[in-house]
Chains A and B, each alone.
Chain A
Amino acid sequence: MVATGIALGATTLTLTIITVVGLLHSRGRVISVEDYVSARNSTGTGGTAATLVASGMGAWVLFSPAEAGAAFGGLAAVLGYAIGGAIPLLVFVSVGVRIREYLPQGHSLTEYVYARYGAWMYAYAVAIAAFYMFIFLAAEMTAVSGALAYIAGVPPWITAGTIGVFVLAYTGYGGLVASIFTDTVQTLVVLPLLAVSFGAVVLGLGGPGEIHTAVVASNPDLLDPTFLPGVAFGAFVTIGITGANVFNQGQWQRVFAAESDAAVRRGFAAAAIAGVPMILLAGLFGVAAAGLGLLAEGNASVAFFLVVAEALPEWATLAVVVLVVLLVTSSADTMFNALASLVTVDLSRVLDDPDERTLQAVARGLTAIVAAGAITVGAQGYSVLELFLLADLLGAATFVPFLHGLYSERATQWGALVASVLGLAVGLAYFPTFHGALTGLPLIGPALPGASFVHAFAGAAAVSAVLSVVAGRATDSRFDGGSLAAEVHSLDDRSARSPEDGNAVVDGGTGVDR
């Protein structure tokens, strides 16, 4: 175990450097609330790819893939996880360009859903997006608090509080501009750190040959890429991650922040490819942990750290502390700003004639509230896995109807809403977490199918997708996608607001039947 003071010192030093970098870069660059929440057309291909890698690759990359490799199906599960991590980013290669085409002055997914579908679908989408992003943030804070407590005995509230305050300092001041720039720096530090750590651990364990021999001797299924439980895990993880990521405001912000459509395409594609080997390597550590007999009952989630402790000397695990802190700060700053921007953008529509100063104060105040919530929840050490799975299921049941409106003029609000709710009902019927409670219900209980994650996620996505398309076919109304651009304006664009509608940024409709 690393000394508590040394680990805290390394954490504070890392956070101080990142904070100073973020503050210096955003000085003079955040003039309006528009800069704070959108940083429009400011990021090239490299910056887009780097910020997506950093904000997507939280501390979860050191926990979840290794746990999947150790406990949910070995190599097959890890391969599925790696592919599942790439697909949502590849989805945005097409979706991102379409969003920029339809909403050239857009800021958030909520503007799209309100203008395209209307108030009911908007409320449903906001609930999913806020729930998913806060759970993501809470899981990250919980993970880093747990990791530092495991490695160095740091009390969870100190870890969560320190990280939260530093990230709040530069995100509160510099908004998305600071978040994107620090993400780029973090990626360029994290990648070599990961490569060196992974390489040292592999060599410390005797090389791939030794690891392979140990795993074959203990459980050869762990190395079988066709091992069915692992393939099933990979399938449901892919659907879940894809669905949830569509509701990640951080991704939408980066679509608008990219300097061109080409930067969106290349940046998202590059980030998708970059994530695959990182997840793969982290996952293989789980396979190694299981093969080397390092796992005890219930500790698969720290498989990565068990392998590190086995292979590296004590001082070298300090590099892992820095790695974990960097991974968490890069995703925490994204979520702080994403959650705050979600509300700020809509507030400009709800409030009566908000001035620039008010909106900036609201955006910064909301960032502080989100940070306080994340610190509080993160320090408790709750298990948020089941909530995470529920957020993923909500996303899986909704993302196809939600995106359908970008590609079809026939998609309607009620078609999308009914398809999403029925998709969710099918998913919940199979969802193992609630299965025990649901089977106890009279009439419905006996009719429910057996619990299965893969059926829950595949069923939710498939049913909602089919129903959304069928509902579109059943209607005669048509939505003019070109009208979206006229409904969503820049937050700086006072001239686009009509005096009658109370300075609405999104005026909420064109009279087209939704």
Chain B
Amino acid sequence: MTLGAGAFAVLVWGSLASVVVTFGCLLWIVLREDVTERRARSVGRRAER
């Protein structure tokens, strides 16, 4: 495999891996924020009661 072909393979697989990592990170952050929001609402409801 030439240097150019190796760099091209890194670019393709690296970009693909980045999309997967982005998905994982976003999913984790969104779910964590959702859990935090639900907890805050639940605490608020309990405080109201």
Taking Cβ atoms with an 8 Å cutoff, the residues of A that contact B are: 44-47, 49-50, 53, 184, 187-188, 191-192, 194-195, 198-199, 202, 207-209, 211-213, 216, 223, 270, 273-274, 276-278, 280-281, 284
B16 within 8 A of A: yes
Residues of chain A lying within 8 A (CB to CB) of residue B19: 191, 194-195, 198, 277-278, 281
B42 within 8 A of A: no
Q: Is the CB of B23 within 8 A of A281?
A: no
Q: Is the CB of A195 within 8 A of B20?
A: yes
Q: Is the CB of B26 within 8 A of A191?
A: yes
Q: Is the CB of A195 within 8 A of B16?
A: yes
Taking Cβ atoms with an 8 Å cutoff, the residues of B that contact A are: 1, 4-5, 8-9, 11-16, 18-20, 22-23, 25-27, 29-30, 32-33, 36-37
Question: Among A192, A208, A211, which residue has its beta carbon within 8 angstroms of that of B23?
Answer: A192
Q: Is the CB of B22 within 8 A of A208?
A: no
Q: Is the CB of A195 within 8 A of B33?
A: no
Query: In the complex, what residue of chain B is closest to A215 when comparing beta carbons?
Result: B8
Q: Is the CB of A281 within 8 A of B26?
A: no
B contacts with A: majority SS: helix
User: B31 to nearest A CB, angstroms?
Assistant: 8
Q: List 9 additional A-B contacts (Cβ < 8 Å) besides A199-B16, A277-B18.
A: A44-B30, A45-B29, A45-B33, A188-B30, A195-B16, A202-B12, A216-B4, A281-B12, A281-B15
Q: Is the CB of B30 within 8 A of A47?
A: yes
Q: Which 9 A-B pairs have the closest CB atoms?
A: A46-B29, A277-B18, A191-B23, A46-B30, A44-B33, A277-B15, A208-B9, A208-B12, A212-B8
Residues of chain A lying within 8 A (CB to CB) of residue B1: 209
User: A204 to nearest B CB, angstroms?
Assistant: 13
Interface centre among B5, B8, B13, B27 (most CB of A within 10 A): B8
Query: In the complex, what residue of chain B is closest to A210 when comparing beta carbons?
Result: B5
Q: Is the CB of A284 within 8 A of B33?
A: no
Query: In the complex, what residue of chain A is closest to B20 when comparing beta carbons?
Result: A195
Residues of chain A lying within 8 A (CB to CB) of residue B11: 208, 280, 284
Residues of chain A lying within 8 A (CB to CB) of residue B27: 188
Question: Among B5, B8, B22, B36, which residue has its beta carbon within 8 angstroms of that of A191?
Answer: B22
User: B44 to nearest A CB, angstroms?
Assistant: 15
User: A219 to nearest B CB, angstroms?
Assistant: 14
User: B36 to nearest A CB, angstroms?
Assistant: 8
Interface centre among A211, A223, A277, A281 (most CB of B within 10 A): A277
Residues of chain B lying within 8 A (CB to CB) of residue A213: 5
User: A346 to nearest B CB, angstroms?
Assistant: 32
Residues of chain A lying within 8 A (CB to CB) of residue B26: 46, 49-50, 53, 187-188, 191, 270, 274
